[in-house]
């Protein structure tokens, strides 16, 4: 296999792989010669067989030594990959759950009301995935490998919390984990979220700026990884919620908690005391808990009213330009919920209604999340834009640029692509400047004479036919 299919067997092309391929080729050759000798094709009798057997034995030991050395190295590389994946999961979870600098020493996000249900699900799923990775590492490297993995995860937590506390950017790509892992403190080549925000405020006239975005300062591969993790965690969470509402004895605790999250989020976004009181009055959790224990038709109607009011409040708090689009999407969702409710009452099956309720709650929470992002960006823009538009914004970007690429004296080394672009366009710029200088040289010198006036272009009458000089215009007067 190694000789015939090296690309499929070997994971690299270093010195160890080269020596293994050479020893494997020698081993295969000696095995073929030994086979011919045993079958009598080579001749030479017993002495020939003994010599060939000794050569085969030496080739076998050499191959075995190289194979074990390669396998140990390959197992360590695989262990590093598994540890790196566990650390990336940990770092992504801590960033998603927004762990504060004052979190527990183990780096885990606080449990209880401080976390949303999505974050609790993410935390649990990351713990389960790390448990599987830890078992794989145990099978590869035993207790020592597990100890290295735990040390790397602890190092990731400590570095993340330290960076949070100091206010320095956290590099999301995970470094080499053969030794206890550390989050790379060196500045990344991608702009940070603050730098991106200041740049957009400084250069965009009156328009909306992009503001923060998930993973805006990370590489594309890292953003894709975080998105896959986030999508997987969300799917797992909503599957658990759906499962809890099915069966003869559904568990409504998750549903009540989600409705509470909707109410609390809308209450936080409400600008006036009157609207806050109205939200609490319309989304009453005690009444909801009582209604959920009654017949299917009653709790279907009550949940529909809560979703309808929540969507109407979201529209009220959103920008006016989005009202028509939101009205259409909200109306479609409420129609689906009403149809599912009627089907549940008529058929006595709540399966379709459960799916519609979950879809509605998820839709409302996503709308609220988008609204929270818009409100946050508007507040930042209102407070920061007058400051950033002045000299402070320019100075901030200058310092950030110098901090990432060094002083102007090091520009030739730190900006190779810019240097390449300037070098490529230098000849074009010199040619255009030469043409400009030539044009200036043919103009009459202004020394000692009045500059010639450019003739006025006349429109229509009085224009001379082609080839004839224009007739003098009559004197004014």
pLDDT digits (tens, 9 = 90+) for 69-117: 777 666 777 778 788 888 888 887 787 776 544 444 444 544 544 566 6
Q: Which candidate, 162, 155, 149, places its Cα nearest to that of 85? A: 149
* pLDDT given for residue 278 in this prediction: 92
CB count in 10 Å sphere of residue 282: 16
d(CA 193, CA 221): 17
**Token pair of 349 as six digits:** 């099956």
Q: Rounded to two decimals, what is the model's pTM?
A: 0.44
Is the pLDDT assigned to residue 291 strictly greater than 70? Answer: yes
pLDDT digits (tens, 9 = 90+) for 335-375: 887 787 777 667 666 667 777 888 888 888 988 888 888 88
* pLDDT given for residue 472 in this prediction: 52
Kindly indicate the confidence band of residue 174, based on its pLDDT and cuts at 50, 70 and 90: very low
3-state secondary structure 144-183: HHHHHHHHHHHHHHHHHHHHHHHCCCCCCCECCCCCCCCE
CA distances (Å), origin 195, targets 82, 123, 160, 211, 259: 33, 30, 20, 10, 37
Query: What is the rounded average pLDDT of the residues 123-129?
Result: 81
Domain residue ranges in the chain: 6-76, 78-188, 220-393
pLDDT digits (tens, 9 = 90+) for 204-250: 655 555 554 444 444 566 667 667 767 777 887 888 888 887 777 78
């Amino acid at each position: 296999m190694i000789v015939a299919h090296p690309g499929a067997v070997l994971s690299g092309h270093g010195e160890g792989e080269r020596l293994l391929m050479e020893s494997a080729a020698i081993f295969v050759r000696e095995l073929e010669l030994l086979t011919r000798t045993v079958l009598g094709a080579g001749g030479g009798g017993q002495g020939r067989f003994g010599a060939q057997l000794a050569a085969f034995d030496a080739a076998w030991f050499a191959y075995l030594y190289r194979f074990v050395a390669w396998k140990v190295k390959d197992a360590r590389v695989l262990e590093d990959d598994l540890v790196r994946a566990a650390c990336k999961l940990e770092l992504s979870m801590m960033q998603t759950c927004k762990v504060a600098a004052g979190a527990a020493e183990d780096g885990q996000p606080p449990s209880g009301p401080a976390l949303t249900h999505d974050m609790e699900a993410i935390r649990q799923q990351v713990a389960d995935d790390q448990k599987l990775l830890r078992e794989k590492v145990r099978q590869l490297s035993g207790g020592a490998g597990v100890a290295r993995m735990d040390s790397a995860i602890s190092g990731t937590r400590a570095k993340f919390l330290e960076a949070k506390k100091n206010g320095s950017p956290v590099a999301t790509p995970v470094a080499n984990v053969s030794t206890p892992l550390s989050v790379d403190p060196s500045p990344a080549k991608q702009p940070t979220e603050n730098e991106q925000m200041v740049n957009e405020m400084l250069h965009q006239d009156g328009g909306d700026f992009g503001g923060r975005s998930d993973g805006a300062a990370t590489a594309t591969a890292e953003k894709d990884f975080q998105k896959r993790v986030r999508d997987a965690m969300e799917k797992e969470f909503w599957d658990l919620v759906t499962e809890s509402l099915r069966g003869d004895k559904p568990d409504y605790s998750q549903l009540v908690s989600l409705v509470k999250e909707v109410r609390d989020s809308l209450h936080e976004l409400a600008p006036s005391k009157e609207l806050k009181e109205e939200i609490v009055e319309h989304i009453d959790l005690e009444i909801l808990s009582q209604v959920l224990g009654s017949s299917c038709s009653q709790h279907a109607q009550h949940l529909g009213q809560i979703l309808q009011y929540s969507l109407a409040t979201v529209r009220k708090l959103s920008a006016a330009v989005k009202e028509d689009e939101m009205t259409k999407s909200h109306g479609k969702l409420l129609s689906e919920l009403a149809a599912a409710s009627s089907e549940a009452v008529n058929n006595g099956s709540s399966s379709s209604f459960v799916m519609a309720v979950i879809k509605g709650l998820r839709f409302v929470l996503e709308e609220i999340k988008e609204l929270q992002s818009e409100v946050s960006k508007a507040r930042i823009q209102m407070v920061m834009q007058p400051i950033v538009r002045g000299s402070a914004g320019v100075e901030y970007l200058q310092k950030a640029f110098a901090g990432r690429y060094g002083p102007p004296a090091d520009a030739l080394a730190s900006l190779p692509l810019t240097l390449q672009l300037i070098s490529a366009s230098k000849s074009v710029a010199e040619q255009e400047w030469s043409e400009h200088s030539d044009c200036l040289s043919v103009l009459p010198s202004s020394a000692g004479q009045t500059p010639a006036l450019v003739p006025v272009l006349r429109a229509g009458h009085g224009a001379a036919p082609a080839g004839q000089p224009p007739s003098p215009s009559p004197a004014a007067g």
